[in-house]
Amino acid sequence: MKNSQSEVRKRAGSFSSGRIVKKVWIKASTTVVYSALTESGELMHWFCDRASINPIEGGEFTASWKAGRAGQKGRAVVTRIVPGSALELLWVDDVKGVQEKTSTHTLGYEIRSKSGMTELVMTDKDESASDDEELAAFDQGWNSVLLELKDYCERRERSSKLRQRSEPKSREKVPER
């Protein structure tokens, strides 16, 4: 499989519905992918510059990105979590300034092991999205972000396998006399 934008594809939905669905195949275990989505230190390698997440239902996720002098911040609540296979966030304060009471912006990930790889399906749904142009920009942005996730997870998987191979095998214990 080539590492190109064609690997991240829009699977379903349309801009008019305010939904973007992407699927990406990652040559890494579901454990590695799930950790990249649910651990603060991991998120900072591919998604944002700073992150904090409490990966339980009702837990909070905060992220910030460097964008000029001001930067951007976002805050979400974990609305669904299935360890190793699913994560859903409700953005209560995203970079567009959506307020908590009116938020309809959700971001979901489904993680599946298939054919020795991980299939990740990402759904970004925002009923209040203003227009097709804005959604097209988000669509392109997700291509880049998901390729970052894919590259990061695959590097982690490779380095983990290299470490396992280079660790000395445990020596057989010699019986004491």
Comparing C-alpha atoms, which of 118, 123, 125 is closest to residue 150?
118
Closest CA to 35 of 126, 125, 151, 153: 153
- Dist CA 147 CA 3 (whole Å): 8
Residues pairing with 58 in the sheet: none
Between CA 20 and CA 135 the distance in angstroms is 8
pLDDT over threshold 50, residue 4: no
pTM check: above 0.75? yes
127 pLDDT band, cuts 50/70/90, is confident
Name the nearest CA neighbour of 89 among 115, 117, 61. 61
Quote the pLDDT of residue 18.
81
Amino acid at 43: L
Closest C-alpha to 46, from 20, 58, 28, 59? 28
Measure Cα distances from 55 to 25, 88, 116, 132 in Å: 23, 10, 26, 32
CA gap 43, 97 in Å, rounded: 22
Q: Find, among 95, 45, 44, the residue nearest to 70 by Cα.
A: 95
Between 99 and 114, the higher pLDDT residue:
114
d(CA 77, CA 73): 14
Residues in the chain: 177
Model confidence band, residue 1 (pLDDT cutoffs 50, 70, 90): very low
Any idea where the domains of the chain sit in the sequence? 5-160
pLDDT tens-digit map of 133-177: 877 888 888 999 999 999 999 999 998 877 777 766 555 555 555
CA distance linking residue 19 with residue 156, whole number of Å: 30
CATH superfamily for domain 5-160: START domain (3.30.530.20)
